[in-house]
Amino acid sequence: MSYQEAYQGWFQTLAQDADTIAELTAIQGDPKEIEDRFYTDLSFGTAGMRGVLGMGTNRMNVYTVRRATQGLANYLCAQTAKPSVIIAYDSRRMSPEFAMETALVLAANGIHAKLFDALRPVALLSFGMRYLHADAGVVITASHNPPQYNGYKVYGPDGAQIGPETAEAVTAAIAALGIADAKRITQAEATAKGLLSIIGDADVDDEYIRRVKTLSINPDVVRQEGKTLKIVYTPLHGSGNVPVRRILREIGITSVSVVAEQELPDPDFSTIKVPNPEDPGAFTLAIKLADAVGAEVCFATDPDCDRLGVAVRERSGAFRLLTGNQIGCLMMYYILSTKKANGTLPANGAVVKSIVSTQLAKPICDAHGVALFDTLTGFKFIGEKIQQFEDTGSHTFLFGFEESYGYLSSTFVRDKDGVNASLLIAEAAAYYKAKGKTLADVMQEIFETYGYYLENVASTTMPGVDGLRLMGEAMARIRREPPRQIGGVQVQAVLDILAGTQTTLATGAVEKLAYPPSDVLYFAMEGGHFVCVRPSGTEPKIKLYVNVNHPIKAEAEALLASMTADAQAMLGS
């Protein structure tokens, strides 16, 4: 079916929906807009759906949400009798409405929908999955994307996002449906039938907070230093506001100043360009407030509170934003070193990170006798590793992180957790303050001890009808002609994770990889550097990761610059 046929089909199928017809009529004279909205269905992958709000098959709207939910319902009903699904949402446009639509479609299929009574972080959904023994979970969020986006993420009974096999099965179930094929009942009917329940604080939140508090390693130090440690926190208009402030208060950190302009939900995110704690602009108001109150550290969480950004005050008095890798390594170093000092570091301890995250983790883990595991990008793979450890008893999970500002030190949550991360970084700040150090001091000590591990993350956007084709062509071209040098450094091995092979360039020897297939190319370099290229799972872009290390900072910076330039030329960007 052509995009024009799909466009016209909506006029016929949804003729009774006056608002939808009005929106579609308004774009009649714009063939490019029609094409972009209807040339494809909004893709449903292992990260669920994410897209711009609006009417069309390639947009987030009540019809694409209902269709996806009907596909999920068909899959669940084929797997188990009387399934239940937990639903959470953040502060974005249409998030409450999409959450309710999800619940009503599930209820129409005889599935017990359990809907949070207000916006919640992703971690509450992940925890609630296991705590309430649900068969699936849905979070309505577009994470850190701009305000015109929303999304739909699906979780399995283990509390992690669904894996590739389940995603393929749900995708097939969705593809078999038309845009108006979803069943739906009213909220009153769903409630009367006992198929819609509302989850309040006492149902999940209180137990979650109690368990997060058990993750504190040095609670006495935190209570002592928490009286004077000054923190500025901004939820960036999102779901972290209540639980992050609660956990900091309950562990004894009492001097927390919240950025008032960004405290309450605002689907327009009117104080920032994007609600992304990776973006320096997200910290403008927080740093201004920190200077006014004399705070030592600033936190920011994104709308669904699964990512945490941190700015630390240096000895000069200025604030420096840490990268996701640096935050992860600070937390990891704090956990491992303090547990070792306390005598509580398990002999079979393990850290798990994504393949594109810093190799600085390795020397830190080695120094503490802790195993390090790499997974593909996507926190669901870290969640799978946690489950493997529990099933086999082989390792005790201590910490997991991704360079994209996601962290976890618990096993009762199986996704990145901004509330857990806030506790960890606040506790680390208090612990090191008791020793006369700032977080900036400790980060510098880590570099001086283990080397300067620096990184660049860049991306090339390829939107629209031709985007997928262009990304595929770019990846195919690099596969055919992999570089032998990047920035003057020899490539030792090429890991083609889609093909499942590792090729050593010097000998041509090919080994099989244990990773599941994924469109990722990883270049292992002499000296322990690496370059990785992969299409984004949530946006129309190819992402490029360049990581280098050197004992001397200036040398590391020069190497990073030259390797980044070469790697970007490889992409044609």
Which residues are the active-site residues?
143
- Answer whether 298's CB lies under 8 Å from 310's CB: yes
- Answer whether 474's CB lies under 8 Å from 466's CB: no
**Any idea what DSSP says for residue 147?**
T
Reduce the DSSP state of residue 224 to 3 states and report it: helix
Question: Which residue from 573, 541, 546, 547 is spatially nearest to 145, judged by alpha carbons?
Answer: 541
**Any idea what DSSP says for residue 205?**
I
At 394, give phi and psi (nearest 5°).
Answer: -70, -35
- Answer whether 549's CB lies under 8 Å from 453's CB: yes
Strands 371-375 and 349-354: parallel
Q: For tokens 């009907």, what's the residue?
A: 70
Q: For tokens 């322990």, what's the residue?
A: 528
Question: What secondary structure does DSSP assign to 400-444, as a single string?
Answer: EEETTTEEE--SS--S--HHHHHHHHHHHHHHHHHTT--HHHHHH
- Answer whether 320's CB lies under 8 Å from 330's CB: no
Q: For tokens 């810093």, what's the residue?
A: 358
Residue 224 CB coordination number (10 Å):
15
Which residues have a Cβ under 8 Å from the Cβ of 405 and sit 6 or more positions away? 277, 278, 302, 307, 308, 309, 324, 327, 416
Buried b / exposed e over 545-567, threshold 16 CB at 10 Å, is bbbbbbeeeeebeebbeebbebb
